[in-house]
Amino acid sequence: MAEERKRVLVVGGSGYLGQHLLAVLASGDGRFDVAFTHHREAPPQTLLDALPSLRAFRADLRSGDGLSAISTSFGQPHVIVNCAAISVPRACEMDPAAAMATNVPSSLVNWLLSFGNVNSLLIHLSTDQVYEGVKSFYKEEDETLPVNMYGKSKVAAEKFIVEKCSNYAILRSSIIYGPQTITPVTKSLPVQWMDGVLSQGQQVEFFNDEFRCPVYVKDMVDVILSLTKTWLSDGKKIQVLLNVGGPDRVSRLQMAEAVAGVRGYNHTIIKSVSASSVDRGVASPSDISMDITKLAQMLGIKPISFQDGVRATLDAQAST
């Protein structure tokens, strides 16, 4: 008798990380039955054409509409990966109620609880913006003191999940970068954007005093797959909070310099400025670089350097 295929549901699967994750899950050895949710009227057709085994469900995370249809035709997922969020800090600042309603996955968790809560793992994407940003290399146990509504909504989500769920992995992600998705996302991708503006040969300003640990998207996918396989292989309780960033603490200025270095652009067009010189309509933490020691110890994953990630991103772009 064939072994039951494990059901994996990617919530917000039509987004950037979601599509990269779906591409790996659906093109594997067939051990996963993969579904995803989307918020728009129709799922991305090019994604379904490229990965015909996927099952798509329209769902509204704020109201929970659409989740019961997943129960009926897909069943209880063994693993749920929640990538859905309003992740633009300024958008969260302008509509705090929408940010909280979307980013705190109360309807999703309550749906999960309706199955009994013990046989599913929830992998939830959080953010480095839960930290205040006043020092370098934050550890998971450091206090969360977000300076904007985006960070506050993500802290509220973490607390809700820890309180309600029996099995969870919360991943505090930094900026995720890498190749474009099967169905191109509308949001600006950091490396591609820097490459585009620098290729024009005009002087461009970049912040020299905001530090992050950008993580290559394939490393992010590897972390999620590792947690998924661990859960499915032994079924032991998982309650974990992990910083997931790359190994390098870099400013936007240093990110641009890395892109220019790989491309061979003239570095003199890169102008160093302070983040305080621009009003973005939202407070932004100065240094939310993260210590990823726990990630390496627990999963044995060592994310690639920013330089190597930039090279891989631009190589992928050249081959499309």
pLDDT in tens, 4-34: 789 999 999 999 999 999 999 998 677 899 9
Q: With cut-offs at 50, 70 and 90, classify the pLDDT of residue 228.
A: very high
In this structure, what CATH number is given to the domain that contains residue 134? 3.40.50.720
Q: Are 108 and 82 in contact (CB under 8 A)?
A: yes
On the question of pLDDT at 1 being above 50, the answer is: no
Average pLDDT over residues 170-184: 97
Domain carrying residue 137: 6-180+213-247+289-297
Per the domain annotation, does 168 fall within a domain? yes
Q: Which pLDDT tens digit goes with each residue over 128-158? A: 999 999 999 999 999 999 999 999 999 999 9
Number of domains in the chain: 1
Per the domain annotation, does 207 fall within a domain? no
Per the domain annotation, does 282 fall within a domain? no
Strands, E assignment, the chain: 6-11, 32-38, 55-58, 79-82, 121-127, 168-173, 176-177, 204-207, 211-212, 215-216, 239-244, 250-251, 270-273
Percent of the chain with pLDDT over 90: 89
